[in-house]
A and B are shown apart, each in its own frame.
Chain A
């Protein structure tokens, strides 16, 4: 444990961008977990007497057309957005790397089937595919997660396949066979740890993308339904008011969205360095 902590500190010390990205990530996670307890107002409570107020000391980000506090809603939405992104990315990471590793390791028919399967998914415009999946399966948060997971699957499968296929002939794979390991164990304990670094970069880029995707689906009215606080819906609702000068309705959730995506994109290199054995000294 101490070794891992030391390595974490070393990676942090190497790169200040990584420190920034990880602090931002910690903040986002903190808000996602404790959000409901630290918001100054109930994010769903309407107040007809206090609608469309500009940002002030009382309402930091102003209030919306129903008099709800935008600041509270932006914070409360963190949990939902992060939840969707994390679950979607985990599902596609697990299934995608399992499929990709098998395809890369065994080749032949496994490879062909997995390859054509991911090609099929990628042949669709991905956002339209996600819309179709949610529309067909029903308008729920779970279905947004599944849709996002499915459209991300090919990326993981491809990275995992490519990285595995260059390693399947490595000397340490033969050495593991001599040590009595079967194929599945070799894949899981010998090859998988080595393909983690490039996968981690994919994960962090995908996280940002998954958040955007979930917000995008909500923006067009699929998935999360009002009055639930979610960045995409808030931007969609706020967009109507921009022309009349109430900019704060759309800007703040939009900025939160941007910051989250930005944070995950920066996180990639740091995550890779954390899991890459070659970075240990």
Chain B
């Protein structure tokens, strides 16, 4: 029996008034959702998936308004509905989990009180019973010591715990429809898996309908019944999960599926030819193989010996009187704990682990942006950890080690044009003064990373994520470094852009003979680019070795958990 549509969106179009005229964010979107069904909306940034959801829950910002079509929830028209109607629906009938849990929670209110707020608003609890109900909710979302956590502020909780609190708030009133807008962005893979399992468990228990918005096809495959693929505001394909992956009909769906790295894909699989700019010859994009190690000779370019980094622990929040000795049981926090590894010339090493495992600290120390507490970093036969990070900028070794940062937006100066950003290392490190010469060199670099020359005069906010990533890469390779540290260079990018950037990095490595340290939490991505992998947890190395071996036969339970948590799909096989 096909249940009657519970959420029914018919031919919905939403327009935004902007400075450059009216922009149509979604066009003629139709979708249906039955009770208890999990619907995934998949698409890349700008595809209108969030706008669709925001229209349903009535949270479109002032500039946007539905212009045609309708969205109705259980027979009530919600598109363009009166605010008073929506206020009663929101939280009670329809709730939402947001992308960034820390930003969505009120930073100056204890989390327990925030759960109470929604209960009180909808009259499901009184002042007397609210506290008990809030604690019960915290218990349901599996927060340990809920009594204690009731009074915690969002900043005292980890990202995963904040998202659990968000879920508790969303489910507190037993709504019948939950909208999850990229609920696990910024969370570690293992936390992501735990969070999504929790959402699935709680929603199935209550027979709730769920709309899961995500850019991650693997996650959609693992948790949804049906998937809607959106591109540029238009629904291009709607199909049940098995059908979508075994037999994708639309070109865009095929492209998305191809671009998501699975456990068996190679770099060439990721993006079909038409996606690449003509400057990138396909033949260069072969999967990384350990063979290169012998080819390039086994000379070590980098050796890290017993590296340790300690940070002073924050003092307790209790006021500390001068006459009373503060409790100094553990004065320091060891972010990196006695690690050693080495990197051969011309090869790549993946540094994998969850957030807080010390991988970023390690890469900062190797890039000489941070001083180690103890241990040595031998680069090209020289102990570079002997030089202070503060003065390393003036040393000749500076230009041999460069870095590509995680967040392409944050790492470009907003008041510098793309050209200025790429020219900066040329001016400082190569002491180039001639404007014409710099211009030529920057143009050559832009060409090398596939950045159109007419974009060079633009400011970062006028560039897309992928273009900004290219500017960051061009800047890093401007001075021909021997070692390039890539700190999650693709984590902020859409899958199709990620595919192109990964291929670009692979090509550059071969052309310029660089060695990479690739920091990432995604083992599938690391495997594509790296011959060797170091898995870190709590500042220590858990496991290291060849990338393929570790991915296929992990020996340590931590590595196994890390791999198992990556949601993925087998394009050829049916899931479940």
Contacts and interface: CB of A to CB of B under 8 A. Distances in A.
A197 to B, nearest CB: 9
B402 interface: yes
Contacts of A281: 19, 462
Interface string A174-214: 11111111110100001001101000000000000000000
B452 interface: no
Given A170-B411, A175-B403, 17 more contacts: A172-B414, A174-B369, A174-B403, A175-B411, A175-B413, A175-B424, A176-B424, A177-B369, A178-B367, A179-B425, A180-B399, A180-B429, A182-B393, A193-B413, A194-B414, A277-B461, A281-B462
A101 to B, nearest CB: 15
Interface of B: 19, 364, 367, 369, 390, 392-394, 398-399, 401-403, 405-407, 410-416, 421, 424-425, 428-429, 459, 461-462, 472, 475-476
A175 B475 contact: yes
Given A177-B393, A180-B394, A181-B393, A172 B428 contact: no
Contacts of B428: 179-181, 185
What is the size category of the interface that chain A forms with chain B? 20 to 34
B401 to A, nearest CB: 8
Nearest to B19: A281
Most buried by B among A172, A177, A183: A172
A227 interface: no
Given A190-B413, A194-B415, A178 B398 contact: yes
Interface string A48-75: 0000000000000000000000000000
A4 interface: no
B28 to A, nearest CB: 29
A175 B423 CA distance: 12
Given A174-B405, A177-B369, A178-B369, A183 B410 contact: no
A171 B394 contact: no
B403 A178 contact: yes
A278 interface: yes
Contacts of B461: 277-278
A280 interface: yes
Contacts of A182: 393-394
A180 B405 contact: no
Interface of A: 170-172, 174-183, 185, 190, 193-194, 196, 277-278, 280-281
Contacts of B401: 178
Prevailing SS type, chain A contact patch: helix
- Top 9 A-B residue pairs of the complex, sorted by shortest distance between their CB atoms: A171-B411, A180-B428, A179-B425, A171-B410, A193-B415, A180-B429, A172-B413, A277-B415, A179-B424
Given A171-B407, A277-B459, A281-B462, A179 B413 contact: no
B388 to A, nearest CB: 12
B414 A277 contact: yes
A280 B392 CA distance: 35
Most buried by A among B19, B399, B414, B472: B414
Most buried by B among A182, A185, A194, A277: A277
A196 to B, nearest CB: 8
Given A170-B410, A277-B461, A281-B462, A179 B475 contact: yes
Contacts of B472: 175
A172 B398 contact: no
B429 A179 contact: yes
A179 B472 CA distance: 12
Contacts of B369: 174, 177-178
Contacts of A178: 367, 369, 393, 398, 401-403, 425, 476
Nearest to A280: B459
A174 B429 CA distance: 15
A196 B415 CA distance: 10
Contacts of B407: 171
B74 to A, nearest CB: 42
A281 B403 CA distance: 29
Contacts of A277: 414-415, 459, 461
B405 to A, nearest CB: 5
